Chains A and B, each alone.
Chain A
């Protein structure tokens, strides 16, 4: 599976002054629409456009973490999955998933102690967090990898990809956590393109047409990318005190493409220094395109059989319907602007 961004929030201790009263904020229940799902949450999530009037697909609630959450398999659970990446501080696996033998529900546990319980149908998510966990971090988990997992459960195929809208078509930028897909999407946004989604591109298929669903209207950028784009890493706010990435609000920029956009092309991003003449766009064989895309299906190691069949058929359809090319961004981040110019030029000539 392509690596996802191993956001590992540092452990911080937050002790409130026992004598001071905190400002009151009225409890709020908001309905969101992300990746084509209508999500009802009692935790403020990223500022996606409220999906008024649509039936609720997924509910999210926070539950108290009673006692010490088990760090290992509980009775009645089977081990399901363990990530390749580990928490540098503890050496523990970054992510472990267990599955209930009785209900089929999943328990996703991150190395920072945050857990999510997801029912077998992907209709309800319950979050549990240690007292020193940041709710902003929990929200990032929910709107990122947890929703990606839920999409998979619900049979939706998603790719590790950003997507931007160019001339009315969705262009996928596919790659792993360090391929540059988020930075590329951000640069294209500054160049006038609208961003459909970042990091998770959920696909929908209707009558042979493949489309990309809208995601969260934000891009998470590394501090050095922010500095290059906006002059200083402090130009954008952090998501939380424990995560270094900065938040680029696409809605504020007027650079968010809401709704579902028909797919027009796919670029497999690579930023190795082994490609001469980078940044450049090169052809890719159809077989190679299929294998590369399959390797970038979100959660492609998590499920088998019927979902794998659907994954194969979806990717097959993508490769049949749109061009798939390799886009070498160049190893140096300073080339990203030039790369985006090359990309747009390739699109206009297509």
Chain B
């Protein structure tokens, strides 16, 4: 699993395309030919990441929208971000 920190920004790979439907989405990695499915929140995170926000911004947005115990959202955002990077769908972007 790729280690990411809460202050990192992620940049989606330019080799992926995404199609969204009813809040869920499918990502095609053109480089590997592998498809990935994202659930509703995963799609939400992807959208926020693609808009250029940091993982801290993503955490804040989700925290404002969803009810979860303290620290759970941040932990899941970091885990999910690590998975996206591990699969080559995103990379940690250079700091602004």
A-contacting residues, B15-30, CB 8 Å: 17, 19, 21-26, 28, 30
Docked complex Cα distance between A308 and B45 (Å): 24
A267-297 contacts to B (CB < 8 Å): 285-288, 290-291, 294-295
Known: A308-B30, A309-B17, A312-B17. A286 touches B35 (CB 8 A): no
B39 on the A face (CB < 8 A): yes
Pick out which of these stretches binds chain B: A18-26, A176-184, A254-262, A313-321: A313-321
* 10 A-B pairs with C-beta separation under 8 A: A285-B22, A285-B24, A286-B22, A290-B21, A294-B35, A305-B30, A308-B28, A308-B33, A309-B28, A312-B17
Residue B38, interface by CB 8 Å: yes
7 tightest Cβ-Cβ pairs between the two chains A and B: A287-B24, A286-B22, A316-B19, A291-B37, A290-B26, A286-B21, A287-B37
- Residues from 179 to 203 in A contacting B, C-beta threshold 8 Å: none
Give A284 to B33 CA distance when docked, in angstroms: 24
On whether the beta carbons of A287 and B21 are closer than 8 Å, the reply is yes
Chain A positions within 8 Å of B33 at CB level: 301, 304, 308
Which residues of chain A in 302-339 are interfacial with respect to chain B, using CB atoms and an 8 Å cutoff?
Answer: 304-305, 308-309, 312-313, 315-316, 319-320
Q: Which residues of A contact B35 (CB under 8 A)?
A: 291, 294-295, 312
Q: Using a CB–CB distance below 8 Å, which chain A residues touch chain B?
A: 285-288, 290-291, 294-295, 301, 304-305, 308-309, 312-313, 315-316, 319-320
CA distance A335 to B27 in the complex (A): 37
Q: Which residue of B lies closest to A305 (CB)?
A: B30
Residues of A within 8 A of B30 (CB): 304-305, 308-309
> What chain B residues lie within 8 Å of A308 (beta carbons)?
28, 30, 33
Once A291-B35, A291-B37, A304-B33 are accepted as A-B contacts, the answer to whether A312 and B24 lie under 8 Å apart by CB is no
Residue B19 contacts which of A288, A295, A305, A312 (CB distance < 8 angstroms)? A312
- Residue of B24, B26, B28, B39 most packed against chain A (CB within 10 A): B26
Nearest CB in chain B to that of A320: its residue = B21
A121 to B38, CA, bound (A): 35
Besides A290-B37, A320-B21, 8 more A-B contacts (Cβ < 8 Å) are A285-B22, A286-B24, A287-B21, A287-B39, A288-B24, A290-B19, A291-B26, A301-B33
- Please indicate the chain A residues that have their CB under 8 angstroms from the CB of B21 in the complex: 286-287, 290, 316, 319-320
